[in-house]
Structure 1
Amino acid sequence: MTALWVIIPAYQEEARIDGALNALAAQHDRDFTLLVADNGSTDATLATVHAFAARAPFPVHTLTEPEKGVGSAVDTAFRHAIAHGATLLARTDADCLPAPGWTAAARAALLTGDVLVCGRVTARRDEHGPAGRALFRALVALGALFGRIRPAHHRRHGYLTPYRMHAGNNMAITAALYQAVGGMPRRPSPTDRDFLNRVRRHTTAVVRSPDMVVQNSTRRIRAYGLLGTARWYLERGPGPRPTDIR
């Protein structure tokens, strides 16, 4: 099968990354290589990954990216994977839970051509109750609407395809397209919008895969509060709080 690598950037994720690793171990399609890009953690993040690697049903690699920022960690990891033979790339985050069909859906979408695939995000069921999950859905919908109507995203600015919601914790892209657009912006998050716009300036091949589902952490709601989280999903930053709770 075509070489698929899954990338997870991580920073101080000892409390959550085991869930992401176990979710990947439960995938229906386990013909992939996992690469965890640690962004200088001082906790047991890497130790947890190494312990998992001993029992994992697929190859597991790690690297350390000293340049701070999720964009730097992701870009280094993607380029490392490509240099080691990856032709298909999928990414999730260390606090997320990919559904069992996630890698299969990513592979199926990527095999249609040189595309960027946007998956569907839902709220983790183990962090908030129904009200918190409903709030998360509303915030994601608000962010998607803002992205579509934002004047700077209109096609008159040189974009070849309409804007669509793109979550960095649930994406896939071919290696060829990743290299063609210059890779992920090497800076702290949020990087999703800028990367999507790089792709939109290059191609119309931005597709949505509703079967590519990831349960997203809602911890930002607790850390930033409602208004801070809304600012985040509107890509205005979290206000006076740190730029990324990770």
Structure 2
Amino acid sequence: MTGPASLGMCGVRLWVVVPAFDEQAGIARTIAALAAQRDRDFDLVVVDNASTDGTARETERACTAYDLGVTIVTETRKGTGAAADTGVRHAIAHGATHVLRTDADTLPTPEWTAVGRRAFSAGADLVTGPMRARTDEVRLRPWERLVLPGVIGLCQTFGRFRPSNRAPELQGPYRMSPGCNIGVSARAYEASGGFPRTAIEEVHEDRELVNRVRRVSSRVEYHRDLVVHASVRRLRAYGLRNTLRWYLDHGHRPDVVDVRGVA
């Protein structure tokens, strides 16, 4: 990608949003995964969320190395919801019709943007897909390869029966959506109010966005081939039981939420 994303398949002008806090050590690998997308017809915005390290500097260096255009914006209110909202609204203000969001410690598979574009072109207003464990950070224990998708699957099942996800005004089925693998149309984002401007320990901003979009659209879709490989840092820091409690509804509330540096 050398310039603004073109108005691609069925009018999809795609942007990718990446919130980042103190990810100097690893964001280059996420940039490399985005540069390796089969469909590179997208614009990238990285939201520096009050980082105390050289995240912005390393983002610029990596994007130059991989010939990937980038806009870096700053959000001083620390929080995944706040940073994601800032990034999505920046993208929409600069012409995005659809946005895919991932995190600064994840590796989207090479088909990620292509799959997202196809889903959006077919009319989806919100898309999500599987979250699998990264294998390049540390040597994974055998059970860790299964835990992340297993946790998400359990939360998905639980979510279908959760009363707040079954309110009569909500359209279509509930889709459990990890924040590192979610996409939304500009129309639905603005109509729904978008991500809550919160910190990760306050609200699961991804679940809140799903239900906000369900209030304005029934086109909330899960695509098996929309895949992101996520860090196991939280799993290592919290342990299996507490990771499950965290994802179910912040049942685990650690003194220190930030899990950077855990291996």
TM-score range, shorter chain: over 0.9
TM alignment of 1:84-163, pairs within 5 A? 84-113=94-123, 115-126=125-136, 127=138, 128-156=140-168, 158-163=169-174
SS in 2 for 1:241: coil
SS in 2 for 1:94: coil
Aligned-partner residue type, residue 110 of structure 1: F
Matched-pair identity in %: 46
The answer to whether 1:193 aligns with 2:203 is no
Q: 1:64 aligns with which of 68, 74, 92?
A: 74
TM alignment of 1:227-246, pairs within 5 A? 227-245=241-259
Which whole-Å CA distance do the structure 2 matches of 1:134 and 1:84 have between them? Answer: 39
Which whole-Å CA distance do the structure 2 matches of 1:242 and 1:198 have between them? Answer: 29
Aligned-partner residue type, residue 37 of structure 2: Q
Aligned-partner residue type, residue 242 of structure 1: V
Give the paired residue count.
245
Which whole-Å CA distance do the structure 2 matches of 1:8 and 1:237 have between them? Answer: 26
Backbone CA RMSD of aligned residues: 1.5
- Match in the other structure for 1:202: 216
- Provide TM-score, normalisation by structure 2: 0.88
Q: By how many angstroms is 1:137 displaced?
A: 2.6
Runs of 4+ in 1 over 4 A off after TM superposition: none
Preserved CA contact (<8 Å) 1:5 1:35: yes
Preserved CA contact (<8 Å) 1:31 1:58: no
Q: By how many angstroms is 1:146 displaced?
A: 1.3
- Match in the other structure for 2:235: 221
Preserved CA contact (<8 Å) 1:38 1:46: yes
Which whole-Å CA distance do the structure 2 matches of 1:10 and 1:238 have between them? Answer: 23
Moved more, 172-181 or 110-119: 110-119
Q: By how many angstroms is 1:231 displaced?
A: 1.1
Preserved CA contact (<8 Å) 2:131 2:148: no
Which whole-Å CA distance do the structure 2 matches of 1:3 and 1:152 have between them? Answer: 33
1:26–1:42 Cα change, 3 Å: same
Moved more, 82-91 or 122-131: 122-131
- Match in the other structure for 2:3: none
- Match in the other structure for 2:179: 168
Aligned-partner residue type, residue 145 of structure 1: T
- Match in the other structure for 1:4: 14
Which whole-Å CA distance do the structure 1 matches of 2:193 and 2:163 have between them? Answer: 24
Preserved CA contact (<8 Å) 1:4 1:89: yes
Which whole-Å CA distance do the structure 2 matches of 1:14 and 1:237 have between them? Answer: 30
- Provide TM-score, normalisation by structure 1: 0.94
Q: By how many angstroms is 1:244 displaced?
A: 4.7
Q: Deviations over 1:151-189 (max 9, x none)?
A: 222243x21122121111111111111111111100012
Q: By how many angstroms is 1:243 displaced?
A: 4.0
SS in 2 for 1:136: helix
Q: Deviations over 1:37-66 (max 9, x none)?
A: 010111121111010232333321101100
Any gaps of 5 or more consecutive residues in structure 2? 1-7
Q: By how many angstroms is 1:129 displaced?
A: 3.0
Q: By how many angstroms is 1:114 displaced?
A: 5.0
Preserved CA contact (<8 Å) 1:102 1:212: yes
